[in-house]
Amino acid sequence: MSHSLLLRRIGLLCLAVGLLMPLSAAAHPHGWIDLRMRLILDDQRQLVALQQSWRLDPFYSLVVLEELEREQGSANLDAALDQLGSEMRDNLSPQGYFTELTLEGRRLELGEVDDYTVLERDGRIEFVFLLPLTESRAIAGETLRYRVFDPTYYIEVVHEQEDSSPAGDALLVGGELDCETRILSADPDPEAVMEAAMLDVNDEAESGLGRHFAETGEVTCR
């Protein structure tokens, strides 16, 4: 079986429209990703990139790792994960890497990911990548907001948590700016909740549903 066919068979958490083919499950969302975000600043203290870490949930990580080892062998696991990262990057690119970024309400354009890796950590698959802006932006004195979400809400993206609260490293700012960070919970309207609840295993939500359930990261720098 080719590596591409293997990945389609597993589904790999689908990452819905973006990553690979979906798995059957009982209701939306079908899996989740734990997110960590780090804002990367240059020497002029301007924002140049978003470093993201996505940890696939334990069940799907286990399925993928077992299949990769079965098909590729444990000795070739690193190479198989590298290939997996390439396919994830290629399939996420048309979806804007599931990321929306604004500065004072103005949409910021994002570039293409060239720096990425996939690894196994504590039994979970982790996709780490650097998402650059098309041009650097000064952010001091303004509020930056981002959302990371699967448009169809097939998977849920949530920031890493500790004791039911965002982890201390869930949102960080690299550099020497004095910044305040916040992670705001989603507050979906009842119609969106109803729409998600009514989807069955064969339904595909309209693109945009996931936005209603996305957490919002906010950064304000002095």
Element (H or E) spanning 59, and its range?
Answer: helix 58-72
- SS3 of 77, please? helix
Q: What is the pLDDT of residues 63-99, one digit of tens each?
A: 889 888 887 777 788 899 999 999 999 999 999 999 9
Q: Do residues 171 and 183 touch, judged by C-beta distance below 8 A?
A: yes
The phi, psi pair for 39, rounded to 5°, reads -80, 130
What is the model's pTM? Answer: 0.82
List the structure tokens of 49. Answer: 């990139």
What DSSP state is assigned to residue 109?
A: P
* Longest Cα–Cα distance in the chain: 55
The rounded distance, in Å, linking the Cα atoms of 64 and 213 is 26
The rounded distance, in Å, linking the Cα atoms of 155 and 23 is 11
The rounded distance, in Å, linking the Cα atoms of 195 and 206 is 10
Whose structure tokens read 């140049």? Answer: 48
Amino acid identity, position 180:
E
Q: Could you read off the pLDDT tens digit of each residue along the chain, which spans 222 residues?
A: 343 433 444 444 444 334 443 333 335 677 899 999 999 999 999 999 999 999 999 988 998 898 888 877 777 888 999 999 999 999 999 999 999 999 999 999 999 999 999 999 999 999 999 999 999 999 999 999 999 999 888 888 999 999 888 999 999 999 878 999 999 998 767 676 576 666 654 555 556 777 888 999 999 998
What are the structural domain ranges in the chain?
3-221
List the structure tokens of 55. Answer: 């940890």
